[in-house]
Structure 1
Amino acid sequence: MVAKGFTVDLNKPLVFQVGHLGESYQEWVHQPIVSKEGPRFFESDFWENLTLTVWWAIPTIWLPVVCWCISKSVRMGHTLPEIVMMVLFGIFIWTLIEYTLHRFLFHIKTKSYWGNTIHYLLHGCHHKHPMDGLRLVFPPTATAILCFPFWNLVRIFATPSTTPALFGGGLLGYVMYDVTHYYLHHGQPSSDVPKHLKRYHLNHHFRIQDKGYGITSSLWDKVFGTLPPQKSAKECK
């Protein structure tokens, strides 16, 4: 794609190219290339490998952490019904975080060199190459870094004994989100609910990219008025 005299070469590492697109970046990044083969991001093998994650790494790494967090609140004296409520509340809060991040951070408009570059790394690459199977889930290293501020945020609003279960519920919500996201791109659902979610999400990628920010649910799209038009959602295959 040529923009102001600059051509993005898809055969070369992309991350440090896309910033040069300037104001044309938004148009370029929302013209998807449907291929299971993802592009190369970096010349360095070290940095390149940090961007690649198999989907099963997410539950393998984070479900034990979820169990540890929940068990910590159990050991601190909370009953099973209390634990269930805290975990469910954590999942509920995650759905709002999921929607908020997707709408206001992942779809922020950029045009500067570093703005475009960071956006491409964060989410733009997913819209440009939506079927790249090794970049559909969040790299565990980045998740681990983000866990610290989120843990401390929960501590501000919760007690020492409820913080672990609430955080564990939110982390479980994240795991559900990431594996659901992978399934919506590469799975072949046979029942109505996952079929609807798949149509809903692919509609966001290929039809109306400024609507339908929910991944695991359309709840917050309904609340905040960002549901895609019904006709387009039904037509998306």
Structure 2
Amino acid sequence: MVAQDYTVDLNKPLVFQVGHLGERYQEWVHQPIVSKEGPRFFSNGFIEFLTRTKWYAVPLIWLPVVCWCFSRSLQMGHTITELSYMAVFGMFIWTLLEYSLHRFLFHIKTESYWANTAHYLLHGCHHKHPMDGLRLVFPPAATAILLFPFWNLVKMFATPSTTPGLFGGGLLGYVIYDCTHYYLHHGQPSSNPSKHLKTYHLNHHFRIQNKGFGITSSFWDIMFGTLPPSLRKKSI
């Protein structure tokens, strides 16, 4: 069956189906299905289990690592004030990374079978099923794998004593990002700035999907000109 005639069966595991859509994948994946029940990804039960993560697993697993990183910089002679600067700078760098990954990797255009499949696993599934509460945060196993290259990247630009503090700040930024992302989908904020952020993010999902790439802030969207036109006057 050619891609133009292929139809995805939502009652079967999706991951190895979506690649067959070819150039039609981008249109399909950006037509959201609003349901709190997530689809099945794989027929294998163990692999399927690894794709589902409770939101609170993120702070439970990674905040102790953040504390360990901060303690290492303190043990190597830095003061609390110096550590605070490292943490804030690390979190700031995370916000740029958050924006860049979302804009340039998560929203990359794909057409081939394996590129579509990889994109669906990485981010496409979130746009197709935006209310799937078990696939809103990044699986810890995948995060652990990615932490190694990021640690080595920080080491290239920092001293041995500042590397843990900067890395811990970036990791703390990630934890805040993932928890915020979950809250924007499933929380009911009644006041700003969280109320604005929820409107801002849902606008990205349901109205203008090629704008509004920031999650924890619209700062980088303002800086790089990707702020949705209708929200420019309300940005933070």
Unaligned runs of 5+ in 2: none
Structure 2 counterpart of 1:222: 222
User: Identity of paired residues, percent?
Assistant: 78
Structure 2 counterpart of 1:199: 199
Report how far residue 229 of structure 1 moved.
Answer: 1.1
For residues 54 and 181 of structure 1, what CA distance do their matches in structure 2 show? 13
Instruction: List per-residue Cα deviations over 1:148-200 (Å, max 9, x = no partner).
Output: 00000000000000000000000000000000000000000011100000000
Unaligned runs of 5+ in 1: none
Instruction: List per-residue Cα deviations over 1:71-99 (Å, max 9, x = no partner).
Output: 00000010111000000000000000000
Which deviates further from its counterpart, 195-204 or 222-231?
A: 222-231
1:232 to 1:23, Cα distance in 2 relative to 1, 3 A? farther
Amino acid at match of 1:171: L
Moved over 3 A (4+): 231-234
Structure 1 counterpart of 2:64: 64
For residues 74 and 232 of structure 1, what CA distance do their matches in structure 2 show? 42
Which aligned pairs between 1:29-178 and structure 2 lie closer than 5 A? 29-178=29-178
Structure 1 counterpart of 2:20: 20
Report how far residue 204 of structure 1 moved.
Answer: 0.1
3-state SS in 1 of match to 2:132: coil
For residues 229 and 154 of structure 2, what CA distance do their matches in structure 1 show? 36
Report how far residue 226 of structure 1 moved.
Answer: 0.1
Structure 1 counterpart of 2:180: 180
For residues 155 and 217 of structure 1, what CA distance do their matches in structure 2 show? 27
For residues 40 and 59 of structure 2, what CA distance do their matches in structure 1 show? 26
Instruction: List per-residue Cα deviations over 1:15-54 (Å, max 9, x = no partner).
Output: 0000000000000000000000000000000110110000
3-state SS in 2 of match to 1:7: coil
- Measured on the aligned residues, the alpha-carbon RMSD in Å equals 1.3
